[in-house]
Amino acid sequence: MDYRDPNDDNQNAKQRILNAAEEVFAEKGFDGARVDDISNRAGVNKALLYYYFSGKQDLFEELVKGHIEDIIKSRYGMLLEKPQLKEKAMSISSTFDMFKDKKEVLRMTLMEMMKSKSNDHFLFKLFDYMFNDIK
């Protein structure tokens, strides 16, 4: 009898897709990346990829949002306490340390932002939200 939780396999597959997408986007850029490349790298069929994500843009947005959420969570506790200048500087430094650890994600994000012809791009909104507390 199989006692595995099917949701564990689903979460694992979704995470494998995100990990593969990060690698493929880093290697080929957004425009050069193909859904086939991502699904092959993740070891899943395209139908499963499309079950979780509506397409390449949705996958890219989910990937970037996940990294930005990690950054926001890491800063949240410190910023709840109405930090002084030193604490704000430490928070900003911590944020840039996280970016340093995820250079490829930052590079992909900035490349996509530069291609945008408007300030309404979802990435601009995410960065505005992330740095909203710095005044």
CATH of the domain at 112: 1.10.357.10
Residue 49 lies in a domain: yes
Q: What is the pLDDT of residue 64?
A: 82
pLDDT, tens only, 63-72: 888 877 776 6
Mean pLDDT computed over 111-134 = 62
Whether residue 82 has pLDDT greater than 90: no
Q: How many domains are there within the chain? A: 1
Q: What is the pTM of this model?
A: 0.61
> Using an 8 Å Cβ cutoff, are 18 and 69 in contact?
no
**Nearest alpha-carbon partner for 22 in 83, 99, 84, 106:** 106
Q: What's the domain range around 14?
A: 6-130
Whether residue 95 has pLDDT greater than 60: yes
pLDDT band at 3 (very low <50, low <70, confident <90, very high): very low
